[in-house]
A and B are shown apart, each in its own frame.
Chain A
């Protein structure tokens, strides 16, 4: 029923509005995507709630420091995750953010533990700032003297990132004397002092981290390290085998399949990621290009 006096009312306005709603919602989708893309770097600054110091932030918390600390921690994880995904090598805000987080909530243990890992790891896995990580952990120990695992984390940084085995052993020993510390800490202290960085010790440490981890990113990191350790160990044994074969027969081997045919090996050896080991042009065992194991983690 259309008339020139605008009877439209219920008849034409409704489909028009319906079309507007649907088409506008659809149009919003690419617009939002474009906005996200363009704001990428800029978005980070505002999202990260950057403020010059923790005490300033504290004044604005109005009693909700714990909550704000949690929000900051979430931001730390996001910041770190995004940077890692972008394969960035610079994590400038990581230290300051962690400092603000732990200023707001000195008992937020997770910030010390994982924050120190993010800080200590070499880029692109982390910020490559082991000294800052140690500072963070020391502040954590002061605020939480009863929590012995922070000592473990300190020891780990000395052991892994600074390759300072003497200090690592000392720290593990101090930590093992904290109340509640597990027995293996003493064993660790001893073996670190004795072996100064062997495969077994490293493996124990990474396995412990894997078991205690409660986020996927840390678990993944531990598995990658374990795989690299195992691969390195296996490569060493394989190289030994190849050397013995060369000494024995004087012939170079070009592929492991030959050793299988000759009966030295039961099957073509595979690395922890499932890819077969290959022999490079220099006659040494190495990872295949298809392998997902990353030996650079061990440096």
Chain B
């Protein structure tokens, strides 16, 4: 399957200071391979390098080292941008223009013929819910409507790869739902969607693959479900009203004990300890209500990776599950 996006050793240093002597590495040797037709999520806390990655790919900034290929051609080829769509973070649009005029302008820049422009503009305005304000200057729009207009301009050329930088920012729950549906719709049409976010729940529901960035380095990458399954963190054992004597024996093996009414929930971190727990429970005649593996949530995985990167300066990226 063809790679839609590929980055090879992509690195970006920012120079600052009076004589530009100091440099800060915003992105360190990023290597990604994203197959076509996927929804790919770039996750990370603020300042991790997500926007840096996107602006590098779109040649708004230039890399210190490394290169990238989009749809098989080098990202330096300006023509490939005719097949891309881009939604910047906190987009600013010409506020003296109406959505219709802005989309038309963008269409002109893509070199679309007039008739095609007209029909696309109409479609996108309908699709993004801008019909009522199509002739209102953008300076009068709310943030959510600006965001929708910005998404519309990203889709004006019916791109094959769509880059979205924090697409959900500033949207109310209804707006976020709409954007989620939009992304899924794009995927259904065979497009590749690359979006960055720090909202993990969105990533969980949308992404096929994720990459986690922290402090400019790739902390983990791969198929979402495989990551989460791989990291079975612990086993949860639910006991009914265990006797104190049993609890005393069980306690040292458990990472956490939570009592809710009659039930006690034990979290057992080590898998091999589980038979021992069962044995203790049976000996004391405690009823085991349930036993289930606790799947790590994306949030846990994320936090683990991010805090690990904060503790240690060097972190090996998690090998891709095969």
Contact = CB atoms under 8 A, between A and B. Distances in A.
The answer to whether any beta carbons of A and B sit under 8 Å apart in the complex is yes
Interface of A: 1, 3, 5-7, 9-10
Contacts of B78: 5-7, 9
Contact of A10 (B74, B76, B79): B76
A13 to B, nearest CB: 11
A7 B74 CA distance: 10
A7 B77 CA distance: 5
A1 B76 contact: yes
Nearest to A10: B76
A1 B78 CA distance: 12
A5 B76 contact: no
Contacts of A5: 77-79
15 contacts: A1-B74, A1-B76, A1-B77, A3-B77, A3-B79, A5-B78, A5-B79, A6-B79, A7-B74, A7-B77, A7-B78, A7-B79, A9-B76, A9-B78, A10-B76
A1 B79 CA distance: 13
Nearest to B82: A5
Contacts of A1: 74, 76-77
Interface string B68-79: 000000101111
Interface string B59-88: 000000000000000101111000000000
B71 to A, nearest CB: 13
Contacts of B74: 1, 7
A57 B78 CA distance: 59
4 residue pairs, one from A and one from B, having the closest CB atoms: A5-B79, A7-B77, A9-B78, A7-B76
Contacts of B76: 1, 7, 9-10
Contacts of A10: 76
Contacts of B77: 1, 3, 5, 7
Nearest to B77: A7
A9 B76 CA distance: 8
Given A5-B78, A5-B79, A6-B78, 7 more contacts: A1-B77, A5-B77, A6-B79, A7-B74, A7-B78, A7-B79, A10-B76
Contacts of A3: 77, 79
B181 to A, nearest CB: 35
A200 to B, nearest CB: 67
A109 B74 CA distance: 74
A10 B78 CA distance: 10
A26 to B, nearest CB: 31
B285 to A, nearest CB: 76
Nearest to B62: A10
B237 to A, nearest CB: 61
Contacts of A6: 78-79
Nearest to A7: B77
A5 B79 CA distance: 6
Nearest to A5: B79
A136 B246 CA distance: 121
A10 B75 CA distance: 12
Contacts of A9: 76, 78
A9 B75 CA distance: 11
A125 to B, nearest CB: 57
A274 to B, nearest CB: 56
Contacts of A7: 74, 76-79
Contacts of B79: 3, 5-7
A106 to B, nearest CB: 52
A3 B73 CA distance: 11
B98 to A, nearest CB: 31
B156 to A, nearest CB: 20
Nearest to B78: A9
Nearest to A3: B77
A248 to B, nearest CB: 86
A3 B77 CA distance: 9
B64 to A, nearest CB: 15
A6 B79 CA distance: 7
A282 B102 CA distance: 98
Interface in B4-60: none
Interface string B150-163: 00000000000000
A6 B81 CA distance: 12
Nearest to A9: B78
A249 B74 CA distance: 108
A12 to B, nearest CB: 12
A5 B77 CA distance: 8
A257 B161 CA distance: 103
A40 B116 CA distance: 60
A6 to B, nearest CB: 6
A248 B77 CA distance: 105
A3 B181 CA distance: 38
B66 to A, nearest CB: 16
